[in-house]
Amino acid sequence: MEVDRTVVMMSVEQGMYFGLEGTGPRIWALLDQPRSVQQLCDELMKEYEIDLEACRIEVCNFLEELRGAQLVRVHDKAPETARPPSGL
């Protein structure tokens, strides 16, 4: 749900509401499928005036907050479908 440019979410398991502001709603939308931090930054840098290092810091901090709230799972590897076929 969007309220006054803030995305509001509820965690049923935790019984808590969470509000996303600024670029948070855009990052959340990009997480509709598994993406690496680099993939998230590539998309965000197309849309916002931000350099790669600052973007990586902000994205990592945001993902850590989401992970701490148990709203996302962080994986060490990219999904199998994102890898090039073997032999290339």
- The span from the CA of 30 to the CA of 37, in Å, is 11
- The mean pLDDT value for 49-74 works out to 90
- pLDDT band for position 5 (50/70/90)? low
9 CA to centre of own chain: 14
- The mean pLDDT value for 35-64 works out to 95
- The span from the CA of 46 to the CA of 78, in Å, is 21
| Helix pair angle (52-68, 37-47), 10° resolution | 120
- The mean pLDDT value for 51-62 works out to 94
Least confident interval from 9-13, 40-44, 56-60: 9-13
Cβ atoms of residues 34 and 79 within 8 Å: yes
Mean pLDDT, the chain, as a whole number? 80
